Structure 1
Amino acid sequence: MTRIRISSGSRFEEEIGYSRAVIDGDHVWVSGTTGYDYAAMTIAEDVVAQARQTFENIAAALAQAGCSLDDVVRVLFIVPRREDWEPCWPVVKQYLGNARPASTLIHAGLQTDAMRIEIEVTARRPA
């Protein structure tokens, strides 16, 4: 199978030189994704709202790859502020509760101070 690249339309992908997601065989790798509404290029201040938008952005990329959040096998969360993680738990369960992927959390700075969560996933496409 040929490698397929998926774009969200974010200007960052073109400027920096990466894809929102890459399909290679049965696997889909979705880049670290933040809570930007790519249509409006805005980001909410609230971490929970950002988490929801992030999952919507990821779901859109996975749909283009022929899969869904239920196909996620691995997830990496990056949260700059420790206190922001626990409020996101219900959102994580809402979006990944069926998949229950292997998961890692890292506390680290993100590209801008406005970004309060970044999520990266790996999925396996259904047969």
Structure 2
Amino acid sequence: MEKLTRPNAEIHIRHLTGRNPGNGEFAPSLVAQLRLALAQGASELEQHGYSLRDVTRIIFTLSGTEGFSACFSTLNELFGQSCPATTLRLVKSGRHQEELVELDLLVTPKS
């Protein structure tokens, strides 16, 4: 997490993954990994007084798009009508073979 250095600095939370904090293993499906990564992000945002609905951009890093459409209902449920700008990055593989998705969340505070 980057430190806020000026009043309206963008908050950028990087490298959110679907690794279960309890056992250190990755969840078995893309949707489950997405939910874990978003839960981590929501927790970090809360520390700065924000929620997922304040996210202005979300960056997905995926090793493949198979199963990604199953994530749409989760994204709609969590982001509602805030509809953040979205970037999809496709890579040959994640940092770990079991890693199906990595997220970056950005919030641009309102002045």
TM-score scaled to structure 2, two decimals? 0.85
Q: State whether structure 2 residue 99 is matched by structure 1 residue 119.
A: no
Ranges of 4+ aligned residues in structure 1 off by more than 4 Å:
none
Corresponding position of 2:50: 67
Q: State whether structure 2 residue 2 is matched by structure 1 residue 22.
A: yes
Q: State whether structure 2 residue 56 is matched by structure 1 residue 76.
A: no
What is the CA distance between 1:76 and its match in structure 2? Answer: 0.6
Q: State whether structure 2 residue 65 is matched by structure 1 residue 85.
A: no
What is the CA distance between 1:126 and its match in structure 2? Answer: 6.0
- CA distance, structure 2, for counterparts of residue 88 and residue 65 of structure 1: 26
The counterpart of 1:94, out of the listed 67, 77, 81, is 77
| Mean Cα deviation higher: 71-80 or 90-99 | 90-99
- CA distance, structure 1, for counterparts of residue 56 and residue 32 of structure 2: 24
The alignment covers a number of residue pairs equal to: 107
Structure 2: any 5+ residue segments left out of the alignment?
A: none
Structure 1: any 5+ residue segments left out of the alignment?
A: 1-20
TM-score scaled to structure 1, two decimals? 0.75
Identical counterparts, % of pairs:
23
CA RMSD of aligned residues (A): 1.7
Q: Deviations over 1:26-55 (max 9, x none)?
A: 321100211112243222111111111111
